[in-house]
């Protein structure tokens, strides 16, 4: 007679055989020693973002490895609600499961050459954060040269102890006008645009920056809506010639408003339009006109403005951007 428990696996074997005969799958239990199931660990966030950067490079959505990595980090930050430094600090851990699908959706938009600033919904400019999106030009770093020169002109203007009246013609997102107003308490700023979408973005940014009582937004063509005499006129007009516009990167050519980029056959037509309005709107005694221009356009724009003003006492200065390009033409009279 077999002692009780002498064949401990017998009962289990009978049960397994019965299950097999009746078409039931075997009962899964613990694996035998040495046969544990191998679980592939999820790859760290930094590796996944590096791959995303490679995808951006492959479709020329980014210019180099560093830019591609930066864009991937910013997109993940947008999806996860993390600042960029927090994204970098979390690089060794797997991506957040709730954020990754959103990141993939944002990445797909960027791979389709939608501007990064549109996807993020904002752009940093002159130390401030501006809301941007379809319908307005994304502020460029080189335009900070115009703001810097404008602030100097305001400080040096004879009316700086009272109130300097400044107009930003074709304001777009309001980046120039609002940056000037934030950093120059002596300025009363008017900002105009012919595009309703652009003025809506400028209005959002004016409210966000708390400058509603400092900046007046007006709809119309350049200086036409203005009735008050001006001390300083600023403008970043569209200056890309039509032929060159067709060769611009897809991210600019397709997504950003053409009216804010293309400046006609020579790229100088908008400057002629603004220059013709200057004599009617500027004060007589002391004023300045500061215009952003494209590479190689400074001399032409100088001639256009001087011819329109007809002031032999005008003094011309050009300001170079960080790349050494003559980016801003400044014409002063009386100071």
Domain limits of the chain? Answer: 45-112, 124-333
pLDDT in tens, 182-212: 999 989 999 999 999 999 999 999 999 999 9
| Chain mean pLDDT for the chain | 90
User: Domain 124-333: which CATH class?
Assistant: alpha beta
The predicted-structure confidence for 90-130, as pLDDT tens digits, reads as follows 999 999 999 999 999 999 999 999 999 999 999 999 999 99
SS3 readout for the chain: CCCCCCCCCHHHHHHHHHHHHCCCCCCCCCCCCCCCCCCCCCCCHHHHHHHHHHHHHHCCCCCCHHHHHHHHHHHHHHHHCCCHHHHHHCCCCCCCCCCHHHHHHHHHHHHCCCCHHHHHCEEEECCEEEECCCCCCCCCHHHHHHHHHHHHHHHHCCCCCCCEEEEEECCCCCHHHHHHHHHCCCEEEEEEECCHHHHHHHHHHHHHCCCCCCEEEEECCCCCCCCCCECEEEECCCCECHHHHCCCCHHHHCCCCHHHCECCCCCCHHHHHHHHHHHHHECCCCEEEEEECCCCCHHHHHHHHHHHHCCCCCEEEEEECCCCCEEEEEEEECC
- 188 DSSP β-pair partners: 165
Residue 19 has pLDDT above 90, yes or no: no
| CB-CB neighbours of 197 under 10 Å | 14
| Global confidence as pTM | 0.84
pLDDT digits (tens, 9 = 90+) for 151-181: 999 999 999 988 999 999 999 999 999 999 9
Q: In the chain, pLDDT over 70 holds for what percent of residues?
A: 88
The pLDDT assigned to 34 comes to 52
Give the pLDDT score at 95. Answer: 95
Q: What is the predicted pLDDT for the residue at 7?
A: 42
Nearest to 168 by CA among 199, 141, 197: 199
Name the band, by pLDDT with cuts 50, 70 and 90, for residue 300: very high
pLDDT at position 293 is 98
């Amino acid at each position: 007679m077999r002692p009780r428990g002498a064949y401990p696996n017998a009962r289990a074997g009978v049960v397994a055989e019965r299950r097999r005969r009746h078409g039931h799958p075997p009962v899964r239990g613990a694996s035998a020693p040495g046969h544990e199931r191998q679980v592939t660990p999820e790859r760290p966030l930094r590796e996944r973002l590096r791959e995303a950067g490679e995808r951006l490079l492959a479709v020329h959505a980014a210019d180099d490895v560093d830019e591609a990595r930066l864009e991937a980090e910013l997109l993940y930050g947008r999806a996860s609600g993390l600042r960029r430094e927090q994204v970098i600090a979390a690089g060794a851990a797997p991506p957040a499961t709730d954020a990754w699908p959103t990141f993939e959706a944002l990445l797909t938009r960027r791979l389709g050459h939608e501007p990064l600033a549109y996807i993020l919904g904002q752009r940093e400019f002159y130390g401030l954060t501006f809301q941007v999106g379809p319908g307005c030009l994304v502020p460029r770093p080189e335009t900070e040269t115009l703001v810097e020169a404008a602030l100097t002109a305001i400080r040096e203007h004879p009316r700086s102890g009272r109130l300097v009246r400044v107009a930003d013609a074709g304001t777009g997102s309001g980046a120039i006008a609002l940056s000037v107003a934030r950093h120059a308490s002596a300025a009363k700023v008017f900002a105009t645009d012919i595009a309703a979408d652009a003025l809506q973005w400028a209005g959002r940014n004016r409210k966000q920056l708390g400058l509603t009582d400092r900046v007046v937004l007006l709809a119309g063509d350049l200086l036409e809506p203005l009735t008050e005499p001006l001390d300083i006129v600023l403008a970043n007009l569209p200056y890309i010639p039509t032929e060159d516009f067709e060769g611009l990167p897809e991210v600019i050519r397709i997504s950003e408003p053409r009216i804010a980029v293309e400046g006609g056959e020579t790229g100088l037509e908008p400057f002629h339009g603004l220059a013709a309005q200057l004599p009617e709107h500027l004060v007589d005694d002391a004023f300045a006109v500061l215009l952003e221009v494209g590479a190689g356009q400074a001399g032409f724009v100088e001639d256009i403005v001087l011819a329109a003003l007809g002031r032999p006492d005008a003094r011309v200065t050009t300001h170079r951007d960080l790349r050494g390009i003559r980016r801003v033409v400044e014409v002063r009279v009386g100071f």
